[in-house]
Amino acid sequence: MKYTYLGPEGTFSEAALLSVPGADDAERIPSVSVPAALAKVRDRSVDAAMVPIENSVEGGVTATLDAIGAGDDLRIVREVLVPIRFVLIGAPGKTLDDVRVVSTHSHAWAQVRGWMDEALPEVDYLPSSSTAAAAVAFLDNEAPGYDAAVCSPIVPEQHPELNLLATDIGDNVNAVTRFVLVTAARNGLPRPEPTGADKTTVVVPLPEDSAGALMGLLEQFAARGVNLSRIESRPTGEALGSYFFSIDAEGHLDNLRMRNALRGLHRVSPGVKFLGSYPRADGKEPLLDTHHSDEAFSRADEWVDNL
């Protein structure tokens, strides 16, 4: 197996990838962006990509949501939850008192603002393309235009020579990012089997911009007792008010309630895309009433077939 992830080395994406059995010893290629990582999956130069999809503080990772929904040839096969912790790395020789400019990815910056306001209220911010990139620049003895970088604790673990100024500087100790492992749709690898605690991800264009239209989509899930664990609106890019929805629903394609919900979705929005069924990272099983069990669906099918 050959993997890619949102690089460079030392990102939370790499940490997520390392939790996949076997990834440790497999080939792991960093990508400069989510679209670049998914492009490698699509052209089969790697088998799978680990990319962030949702952050408990910052929300959906829009680059991933948009890139993953842009073709129907991808499948999510696994999700990984990574607790998000931040450390502050200084330029060589600098102390906390010397810090005037801090660089990091804008998502990370948003999650350490509280700490910064207290510890370094005067500091200026310089955006970077990734958390790890801002930190590892210090290794090259570059003078990168800033005095400190915010990054994941993995970076100083991998590079103990870095100048660690502070740890656990995240504002929200419960912050967690959800990553997904994405493969090509028809790559011959086995699909995740239903475990009883699964998720299914779909992307659905909203047929028209009305409360009724969105209710029409949601009803397809609700009417079959399928709960949603994530729902995000994204613009289609065509016009203001033109949306698609990225949805995680509880259950597996092999559950009859899910098959029926997907059938209903396809009828009201034929452009719906299926992005895979895979085990939930938290192993939480859905609460089902008897109307929505596989048995109730089978019995109903049988009854109608016998009429």
- How near is the Cβ of 63 to a copy of itself at its closest, in Å? 8
Task: Name the residues that contact a copy of itself, by CB under 8 A.
Answer: 54-60, 62, 81, 106, 125-129, 145, 172, 174, 176, 178, 209-212, 214-215, 218-219, 221-223, 226-235, 237-243, 249, 253, 259, 262-264, 266-268, 270, 274, 291-292, 296-297, 299-301, 303-304, 307
Contacts of 180 (CB under 8 A, 6+ apart): 50, 51, 53, 64, 68, 76, 78, 79, 80, 201
Q: Where are the alpha helices (DSSP H) in 58-145?
A: 62-68, 106-110, 113-119, 131-136
* Straight-line distance from the first to the last Cα atom of the chain, in angstroms, rounded to the nearest whole number: 50
**Are the C-beta atoms of 149 and 89 separated by less than 8 Å?**
yes
SS3 letters across 202-214: EEEECCCCCHHHH
Q: Which is nearer to a copy of itself, 50 or 156 (CB)?
A: 50
Contacts of 178 (CB under 8 A, 6+ apart): 52, 53, 54, 55, 79, 80, 81, 82, 281
Q: Which is nearer to a copy of itself, 3 or 86 (CB)?
A: 86
**Are the C-beta atoms of 278 and 77 separated by less than 8 Å?**
yes
- How near is the Cβ of 25 to a copy of itself at its closest, in Å? 30
- How near is the Cβ of 77 to a copy of itself at its closest, in Å? 14
Residue 238 Cα distances to 137, 209, 269, angstroms: 39, 13, 17
How many other C-beta atoms are found inside a 10 Å radius of the C-beta of residue 145? 9
**Three-state SS at 130:** coil
Cα separation, 99 vs 113, in Å, equals 15
Q: Which is nearer to a copy of itself, 4 or 128 (CB)?
A: 128
- How near is the Cβ of 125 to a copy of itself at its closest, in Å? 7
Q: Which is nearer to a copy of itself, 119 or 296 (CB)?
A: 296
- How near is the Cβ of 113 to a copy of itself at its closest, in Å? 9
Q: Which is nearer to a copy of itself, 139 or 300 (CB)?
A: 300
Both tokens of 28, joined, read: 């792991």
Cα separation, 103 vs 124, in Å, equals 9
Q: Which is nearer to a copy of itself, 21 or 306 (CB)?
A: 306
Residue 123 Cα distances to 58, 113, 134, 177, 287, angstroms: 22, 11, 16, 26, 49
- How near is the Cβ of 27 to a copy of itself at its closest, in Å? 25
Q: Which is nearer to a copy of itself, 2 or 299 (CB)?
A: 299
- How near is the Cβ of 97 to a copy of itself at its closest, in Å? 23
Q: Which is nearer to a copy of itself, 86 or 221 (CB)?
A: 221
- How near is the Cβ of 18 to a copy of itself at its closest, in Å? 21
